[in-house]
Chains A and B, each alone.
Chain A
Amino acid sequence: MRPLVSRLRASAWLGLQIESNWTDPFLFTAYAITHPLATALILAGMYWAVGGTAQGADTFRGLYLGSAFHNYVVMVLAGMGWMIVEEREEFETLKYVYTSPIGMFNYLAGRSLVKLALATLSTVLTLAVGWFLVGLRWDWGAVHWLPLVAALGLGVVATVSLGFFVAGFALVMPRAAFTLNDGIAVALYLLCGVIFPVDLLPRVLQWVALALPFTWWYEALRRFLLGHGSSTLLNAWSEGALMGWLFATTLVFSVAAHLAYLALERRARQLGRLDQTTLF
């Protein structure tokens, strides 16, 4: 256990240096939260713009909450794919990481801890923007803390697991990884009811949405924190059923993503793509 912790800590420290040593800590923190804060402000701007004419303030707040937690997907999931691109294409150090005693899997896991920390900071700040600028409020006494924490944990597991899957694809497809990383985050933004209810999706895509853990995750967070969901379709499920589906989809995704990553890493080695640079 101790060697594993030591490896994770070493790779997390290295990840922090790679991401932040171009500037001082204050500027780096400001840089790291710029994107999620601006996204939150765009949503706030849209809400202010239609505030006088549109219906459904509660719906908006629920959707805003989904957008806040989507920071995890953008920063961790897409970020794990970008780690591969940076290490292989930009710094040309992927082969050294691969041959080091830490190993690729532990290295990616360690670096994802930094991404998780930054995503947590961004989510908290996004929620603060929501609290002060768009009237996002919840009754602290009515929050379902235990299921909320459980849902948050499951969502993080699903995000990191899918991050490994994205990283595996990035190993096998050097050029296309550039596009794939952000593409998956945007696809999940559209499919999982982040800023509009899944009810508005075509029927076929609704089924796809229900197969993804993130759809259940965002809805569970809304239910346990705000006391209401944002989708008529998902309202049919009780809170227990919601958690059950979140657990089941997360479990399936995590096991599948882990196996897929290992297979993709092997494939990348067979194809000689671990040190194949294509951009610079």
Chain B
Amino acid sequence: MSTVALNLRATWGRTYGRLVGSFREPTWLITDAILPNLGMLAFVMLYRALGAPRSFETLAVVGGLLATYWINVLWGMGAQFYWEKQSGQLQLYFVAPCSRMAILSGMALGGFLLTTARSAFGLFLGFVVVGVRVEPFSLPALLGVFALTMIALYALGMVMASLFLLWGREAYHLSNALYQPVQFLSGLYFPLKTLGPLGIVSAGLVPLGLGVDALRQVLLGAGAHALMPLRFEVALLVGLCAFFLWLARVALAHLESLAKREGRLTQRWQ
């Protein structure tokens, strides 16, 4: 079997495991899909209580939908190696003949497909229960921006996953600590432009902010209160995709080697 075919099969194998595994644990549906969207609903109601223009409610709904992907990247990608290490399975990934990137790609693909299916609940809450509306938009533009955002975001998740090869609780707590601050720095529930220069800096570091800003531009036009023109955001997202994929590859190789030297690759409860 060629290397490409082997890695594609590994990717599919990991995707399959993720999809089937999640269907066997239906309570995770609540954690991954319902809870973050209920949080989004609270923010929409806050805008309503403040008498803000209706476009702000749509901003919050779009942000809330992307928050479910961010949760999946943090816990389904970043921290996955922690769970594997704790359950004593991490070493199986390393004795397999395929690339680690193929396994992580499978995790990303499976997580993305599941989260997309689960974001249907957020769409229902936003558009049916709360009744937000969007401007007429270009579907190819929406899908293109969404795809770029997801590639950059899940590539960031691969970088985070590599940290767990060497560290245990430290990296776990890092994932935990990043959850809410990144939501703030990405302007998930308000226009990123509100943060001024800080918004521009964070947009250059975390793809979530750029992605949500670009998606809002496609859906709301001027009502998105965008940080910068859409074409610049798309160009930056392409750059972030390439950078994080490269970084993930380098970080995986380096940290794997370091973890093996220090004997921490399979160390539980560290």
- Residue ranges of A at the interface with B (Cβ–Cβ < 8 Å): 22-23, 31, 34-35, 37-39, 41-43, 45-50, 53-56, 59-60, 63, 90-91, 175-176, 178-179, 182-183, 186-187, 189-190, 194-197, 200, 279-280
Contacts and interface: CB of A to CB of B under 8 A. Distances in A.
A54 B52 contact: yes
Contacts of B187: 45
B42 A55 contact: no
B169 A22 contact: yes
A280 B42 CA distance: 33
Nearest to B192: A45
B42 to A, nearest CB: 5
Interface residues of B, number: 45
B242 interface: no
B46 A63 contact: yes
B189 A46 contact: yes
Contact of B184 (A31, A38, A49, A187): A38
Contacts of B45: 195-196, 200
Nearest to B195: A45
Interface in B79-96: 83, 86-87
Contact of B170 (A23, A50, A90, A189): A23
Contacts of A189: 38-39, 42
B52 A35 contact: no
Nearest to A35: B180
Given A178-B27, A280-B83, A186 B56 contact: no
B131 to A, nearest CB: 13
Contact of B87 (A53, A200, A280): A280
A45 B188 CA distance: 10
Interface stretch (B3-11, B28-36, B102-110, B136-144): B28-36
B194 A196 contact: no
Main secondary structure of the interface of A (DSSP, over half): helix
A34 B181 contact: yes
Contact of A35 (B41, B86, B87, B179): B179
A40 B27 CA distance: 29
Task: Describe B's contact surface by its main secondary structure.
Answer: helix
Task: Give the 10 A-B residue pairs with the shortest CB-CB distance, closest first.
Answer: A38-B180, A196-B45, A49-B190, A50-B52, A54-B50, A55-B51, A38-B181, A280-B86, A22-B169, A45-B190
Contacts of A279: 83, 86-87
B43 interface: yes
Contacts of B56: 46, 49-50
Interface string B56-72: 10001000000000000
A182 B27 contact: no
B249 interface: no
Contact of A41 (B31, B38, B86, B184): B184
B181 A59 contact: no
B254 interface: no
Given A49-B56, A195-B46, A56 B51 contact: yes
B190 A175 contact: no
A182 B194 CA distance: 29
Most buried by B among A31, A53, A90, A280: A280
Contacts of B39: 186, 189
A176 B27 CA distance: 6
B184 A45 contact: yes
A244 to B, nearest CB: 26
B117 to A, nearest CB: 18
Contacts of B30: 179, 183
A184 to B, nearest CB: 10
B129 to A, nearest CB: 10
